[in-house]
Amino acid sequence: MPVSTPYSRFQTTLHKTLKRLDLDDGENALFSEPQYIHRRDITIKRDDGTEATYHAFRVQYNNARGPYKGGIRFHPAADEDEVKALAALMAIKTAVAGIPFGGAKGGVQVNPKELTKREVQEVSRAYVRAFQENIGEDIDCPAPDVNTNPDIMAWMRDEYELLTRSYSPAMITGKPLSYGGSLGRDTATARGGFFILREMMDREALDPSELRVAIQGFGNAGAHMAHFLHSAGYTVVAVSDSQGGIYSADGIDPVRIDKYKKKTGSVTGEYCEGSVCDIERMRLDNVRKVSNEELLELPCDILIPAALDNVITEKNAGKIHAKYILELANGPTTPEADAILESKGITVIPDVLANSGGVTVSYFEWTQGRSGEQWTAEYVDEELKRVILEAFKAVRREARRGEMSFREAAFAVGVKRILNAMRVRGWVR
Ligand code: NAD
């Protein structure tokens, strides 16, 4: 059996879509590989005076609909295959969202947790020097991803402006508010997912107060989502982070979890130190500790993977109790798991739709950078709602028309829009 990799998993879904759309060989070929894969080694001086060199990538999958767009991750396991898959997913995502971008992704094979802040800044600036020719507001606009943040975006913009002797606020998004960032970007991914979920539950006449939600990951996407759901009357029954999670059938207050996480560094920290837990306190609060694997299989109505890729697989898909899965993480479900979930009647709202709020508000940041405007938080949220519900409607229409899953429908919408752009540009006959 061929080895499953992030790009092979992307291709499985893509090939299904291409087959359904009945494209010719020339058209299929335009989707098979990224347009460009840029590889560089970047070298920095460590604080101890030695030099360190890291592999770095920028993968540009497709720019038929506009400049390439996608984050940069700093991770020791960020390899070319993973970055390729993420770049391709970005192209589908921007097309589904209907925003004028293509898809790209970047990565540096480095563990930033082993570096000092100055060394991380060195890596960030070296990345921009290495890829200066390939990025820019009209060419390819990066953003944060795993282990990169607004500080890093600021260093990258600063390096780019120094190199090009330009004022270029739109060359990168996810910047700090004080240096060209947009209001509402920090909550955008969760808020977009929340708008879609609320719309779906409304349409199915489901009452939030009767819906239990389990969320894997309590970072930017997962924690904001927990707050939105809790405020809207949903019962958040489980949350987790890399050190494990907690479950309570009575519901968990995300405000309390925020406090625990700030105080102890983990969502379970108030009850457990490592594997030793205060059982009496947990009993009083009706809470129990769960592993990240268990969390996925808990009794709940809605499951939200908001941490890692490849967590819902053929091994556990059959054990999932939720009726809805909202993918805030990128690539959490394998194609084999998708088939099992579909056979069980579980509705999956796929990553390319569910988490597209992040790139949508990045587009608003890019727009503001180019125009010099500064939008209010209320305006950003309203526009996000409009754009993401439009995308949801398009995907739902496609799913109904073709009698297919939301993932297949989202891919179909995305591929058709990219293809249309390639046709009008004369790239295909
Ligand atoms: P983050 O770094 O802020 O949070 C990640 C969370 O996952 C943390 O709580 C971390 O403890 C947890 N985690 C790490 N390893 C884990 C493990 N083994 N098991 C369970 N939890 C674990 O990241 P984020 O920005 O919230 O991104 C989360 C996911 O959402 C990623 O897949 C990312 O690609 C996707 N996403 C994020 C955005 C965004 O705007 N932040 C946009 C689109 C997609």
User: In the numeric block, which tokens belong to residue 282?
Assistant: 């947990």
Verify whether ligand 1 is closer than 6 Å to residue 358 (CB atom).
yes
Looking at residue 350, what is its pLDDT? 98
Verify whether ligand 1 is closer than 6 Å to residue 59 (CB atom).
no
The pick from 330, 351, 361 for probing ligand 1's pocket by mutation, whose C-beta has the most ligand atoms within 8 angstroms, reads 330
DSSP state of 219: S
Asked whether 153 and 175 are in contact (CB, 8 A), the reply is yes
* C-alpha 261 to ligand 1 mean position (Å): 15
For the chain, which residues score pLDDT lower than 50? Answer: none
| Distances from the Cα of 133 to the Cα of 293, 307, 356, angstroms | 43, 32, 27
Looking at residue 307, what is its pLDDT? 95
Predicted TM-score of the model (pTM): 0.96
Verify whether ligand 1 is closer than 6 Å to residue 218 (CB atom).
yes
CA nearest to 87, candidates 280, 335, 331, 310: 331
Q: Identify the residue whose C-alpha is closest to ligand 1 atom 29.
A: 329
Q: Identify the residue whose C-alpha is closest to ligand 1 atom 25.
A: 220
Q: Identify the residue whose C-alpha is closest to ligand 1 atom 16.
A: 242
Verify whether ligand 1 is closer than 6 Å to residue 293 (CB atom).
no
Looking at residue 270, what is its pLDDT? 85
Q: Give the Cα separation of 124 and 159 in Å (integer).
A: 9
CA nearest to 300, candidates 214, 200, 197: 214
Q: Identify the residue whose C-alpha is closest to ligand 1 atom 28.
A: 307
- Nearest atom within ligand 1 for CA of residue 147: 2
Q: Give the Cα separation of 391 and 397 in Å (integer).
A: 10
> Quick one: CA torsion of 376, 91, 398, 396, rounded to 10 degrees?
-40
The verdict on whether 105 is a catalytic residue reads yes
| Distances from the Cα of 17 to the Cα of 53, 260, 358, angstroms | 40, 44, 25
Residue tagged active-site, from 84, 105, 261, 385: 105
Q: Which helix (H) or strand (E) holds 302?
A: strand 302-305
Verify whether ligand 1 is closer than 6 Å to residue 74 (CB atom).
no
Looking at residue 27, what is its pLDDT? 87
Looking at residue 193, what is its pLDDT? 98
Strand, coil or helix: 388: helix
* C-alpha 205 to ligand 1 mean position (Å): 30
CA nearest to 150, candidates 132, 168, 172: 172
Q: Which helix (H) or strand (E) holds 315?
A: none
**Strand 36-45 relative to strand 51-62, pairing:** antiparallel
* C-alpha 342 to ligand 1 mean position (Å): 25
Verify whether ligand 1 is closer than 6 Å to residue 147 (CB atom).
no
Q: Identify the residue whose C-alpha is closest to ligand 1 atom 8.
A: 219
CA nearest to 112, candidates 98, 126, 130: 126
The pick from 90, 152, 303, 355 for probing ligand 1's pocket by mutation, whose C-beta has the most ligand atoms within 8 angstroms, reads 355
* C-alpha 427 to ligand 1 mean position (Å): 37
* C-alpha 228 to ligand 1 mean position (Å): 17
Asked whether 288 and 246 are in contact (CB, 8 A), the reply is yes
Q: At what angle do helices 80-97 and 6-21 cross, to 10 degrees?
A: 40
Looking at residue 284, what is its pLDDT? 87
User: In the numeric block, which tokens belong to residue 168?
Assistant: 């270029």
Looking at residue 1, what is its pLDDT? 60
**Strand 288-290 relative to strand 244-247, pairing:** antiparallel
* C-alpha 192 to ligand 1 mean position (Å): 16
Name the H helices within 176-307: 188-203, 220-231, 254-264, 279-284, 292-296
Looking at residue 334, what is its pLDDT? 95
Looking at residue 403, what is its pLDDT? 94
Long-range contacts of 321-327 (CB under 8 A, 24+ apart): 321/297, 322/214, 322/346, 323/347, 324/197, 324/200, 324/348, 324/349, 325/349, 326/193, 326/196, 326/197, 326/302, 326/354, 327/351, 327/354, 327/355
Asked whether 86 and 105 are in contact (CB, 8 A), the reply is yes
Q: Identify the residue whose C-alpha is closest to ligand 1 atom 42.
A: 358
- Nearest atom within ligand 1 for CA of residue 266: 11
